[in-house]
Amino acid sequence: MTYYYNHFRKPKSGNFLKVRDLAIESRAKMPNPGFVTATISHPQPALGSNIIVSTTIFDSAEEMDKVLDFSDSNDEILERIQEVDTLCESSASVIGQVLHNTGVPEGFTPKICVRDTVTAADGKLGDLIAFLSEAIQPEWGGVPRSANISVPIGRMNFNSIRATFFYESLADMEKANMDLLSNTAMVSKVVELRAAPQVRVVSRVVSYTPRTS
C-alpha cells in the first residue's frame, strides 16, 4: 500500500523564500515522486498561512522503512533537514497511508492542492472511506484533477481521514466545487456519514516531481 511522508514548516518572518527554495531543493534529491506546497488559504490564517509542506510518496511500507533507516544513519540528510528547520518557527512531520488514489491524468501539471480533513461519525468510518473512495473517481466539472483518500498513521481522532485534490488552476477547482455542490445526493450522504463539517486548506503547488514509470 502507498505511503506518504509530509514535512510541515512554518518559516520565520522574512525567511519564506529561503525555506521554500531549500525545501524544493531537498525534496528534489529524493528519487521518489512528490511535491512541495505553500499554503494560500487556511481556516486559521494567523496560524496556518505560508506553511511549506514537502511530500514524498513511497510505494510500500517496506520502501519507507528503508529510507527512514538510511536517513537515521546519514548525517548529510539530517544536516540538510536541520539547515531548513533553523529558518522556521516550527517543523513537524506526518506519515500517512493512501487508501485510494484516482491516479494522475496524462500531461497533468498540478498547481492547486486542496486538503480536506473529514471526521466520520462513530461507527461510520468504513462507510465514509468507501463512499469517498468511490465519489472521487468520476470527473467533476469537466476538469482534469487527481485525488486520493488517506489517513495519517498518528492522529488525534481515529475517525479522521484526509481527502486531497489536485487541480491545474483555481478556475478548475471552482468548476469542480460547483459541480460537486450541485450533487445534492452526494452532499447529503457526506453530511450523513460525517461527525462535523470538514476542514479545508488550500495550497499552491510550487514544485512537482511526477512518477517516472
Cα separations in angstroms, 15 against 47, 87, 165: 16, 6, 28
pTM of the model: 0.92
| Start-to-end Cα distance in the chain | 17
**Which residues in the chain are classed under CATH 3.30.70.100?**
3-95, 99-207
- Residue 80: what pLDDT? 83
**Confidence band (pLDDT; 50, 70, 90) for 213?**
low
CATH for the stretch 3-95:
3.30.70.100
Among 55-64, 67-76, 93-102, 192-201, the minimum mean pLDDT is found in 67-76
Topology at the third CATH level for domain 99-207: Alpha-Beta Plaits (3.30.70)
122-156: per-residue pLDDT in tens? Answer: 999 999 999 999 999 888 888 999 999 999 998 87
Mean per-residue pLDDT of the chain: 93
